[in-house]
Amino acid sequence: MSVEKTLSIIKPDAVKRDLTGKIIAMFEEKGLRVVAQKKILLSKEQAGSFYAVHRDRPFFDELCEFMSSGPIVVQVLQGSNAIDLNRQIMGATNPEQAETGTIRREFALSMTENSAHGSDSAETARDEINFFFSGLEVLQF
């Protein structure tokens, strides 16, 4: 399988509860390496622009409020099959449906406050990495 990069976000509910280190350890244990990372606070508008595909969904306003409610950790993860692997490690969107041992099963508070985001395709990964990072900020090797 090919080495890929994917965009990961540790969401405000998890950063607030100091779960950043535990979540990074879960990625590293499964072979995903952090090749870029920063802690930032989004405005509601910036959150809306990141989640623009969900603009017309009923949960959009709540999602943007939440994503701008506190600091997030945005990171680029690299590894074999990184895009799918990251989503497996996160688990299902709804924590009640997420498998035991996944980030969302262990840590999520609700469907909205679900602790992590991961890109869902190669195209989205490229766009989402470019949304948060310049080329110089991402380790290339």
| Residues 75-104 contacting ligand ATP, CB under 6 A | 93
Give the closest residue to 42 by CA, choosing from 23, 18, 63.
63
Q: Which of 118, 128, 132, 133 binds ligand ATP (CB under 6 A)?
A: 118
* Residue 69 contacts ligand ATP per CB under 6 A: no
Print the SS3 string covering the chain: CCEEEEEEEECHHHHHCCCHHHHHHHHHHCCCEEEEEEEECCCHHHHHHHCHHHCCCCCHHHHHHHHCCCCEEEEEEEEECHHHHHHHHHCCCCHHHCCCCCHHHHHCCCCCCCCEEECCCHHHHHHHHHHHCCHHHCCCC
Stretch that binds ligand ATP, among 21-29, 30-38, 74-82, 117-125 (CB under 6 A): 117-125
Q: Write down the least CB distance from residue 141 to ligand ATP, Å.
A: 26
Q: Is 117 a catalytic residue?
A: yes
* Residue 131 contacts ligand ATP per CB under 6 A: no
Q: Which of 59, 97, 131, 137 binds ligand ATP (CB under 6 A)?
A: 59
Q: Write down the least CB distance from residue 55 to ligand ATP, Å.
A: 12
* Residue 124 contacts ligand ATP per CB under 6 A: no
Q: Which of 11, 87, 104, 117 does the annotation list as catalytic?
A: 117
Q: Which amino acid is at 109?
A: L
Q: List residues near ligand ATP by CB under 6 A.
A: 54, 59, 63, 93, 111-112, 114, 117-118, 120
Q: Could you list the active site residues?
A: 117
